[in-house]
Each structure stands twice: as structure tokens, then as C-alpha cells.
Amino acid sequence: MSESKLIGCGDNSCIFARPKGPGTNGGCRCAREPGRLAHNVRVLRQQRDELLAVAKRYAAECRLCGGHSVRRRLDVDGVPLDDVACEQCADVRLVIARAEGRSDE
Ligand SMILES: [Zn+2]
Ligand SMILES: [Zn+2]
């Protein structure tokens, strides 16, 4: 399970992890530790993938649009209007698109 934890350098300003006890001062030293950097990048990628999977499941199971990302609307006479983006899962879909590099925003 150690693979899934970010490892820090013990400095108070470490970018990866807070020191457990009293930390050193002077700045994060992680950039000088290629092995630790590689480990942390693996951990962050894995966490991103897991979060992405959760976000995709959420979008696919959206109760408002049934996972279609658009909602069908009918006017008062039951005539179909233009589909609208589902407001319930639009933000999640945007996050997914960004994470997968499909958005310019
Ligand atoms: Zn550090
Ligand atoms: Zn939806």
C-alpha cells in the first residue's frame, strides 16, 4: 500500500506531503530526489485515474439525464424542444473533458 501514498521530504513547505512531526525549514527538497519524484508522480496519476473513474461513473448514472448528458424537453403541448445540456452533470463532464485534455478552457 505504500505505492498509494505521497512521500515528502520532511520540510514544512514540502509540495507533496506535510511532515508528520516537526519539519525542517528551508524549502522542499523533493525536486532533488528523482526516485521520490517518480514515485509521487505515479501516485498522483493513479489518484487522478481513480477520481476520473468516479467522475465518469457519476456522469453515467446521472439521475436527471440518465447519463445522456442532455435533457429532452417538451413544451406544454408535448412537442419536443431542443435538447438542453443537463445541469446536474454538466460540471462533472467538464471536469472529465479537462482531465482528458478535450477542453481548451
Ligand atoms: Zn518535499
Ligand atoms: Zn445529467
With a CB cutoff of 8 Å and minimum separation 6, the contacts of 25 are 11, 12, 13
pLDDT tens digit string along 55-94? 999 999 999 999 999 988 889 999 988 889 999 999 999 9
Ligand nearest to the CA of 40: 1
Task: Give me ligand 2 centre to Cα 72, in Å.
Answer: 11
pLDDT tens digit string along 22-44? 999 999 999 999 999 999 999 99
Residue 2 φ/ψ, nearest 5 degrees: -65, -25
Alpha-helical runs (H) found in 10-74:
34-60
Longest Cα–Cα distance of the chain, Å, equals 70
Distances (CA, A) of 86 to 22, 55, 78, 90: 48, 15, 19, 6
Task: Give me ligand 1 centre to Cα 36, in Å.
Answer: 9
pTM score of the predicted model: 0.69
In whole angstroms, what is the distance from residue 47 CA to residue 5 CA? Answer: 10
Burial 38-50 (b: 16+ CB within 10 A, else e): ebbeebeeeeeee
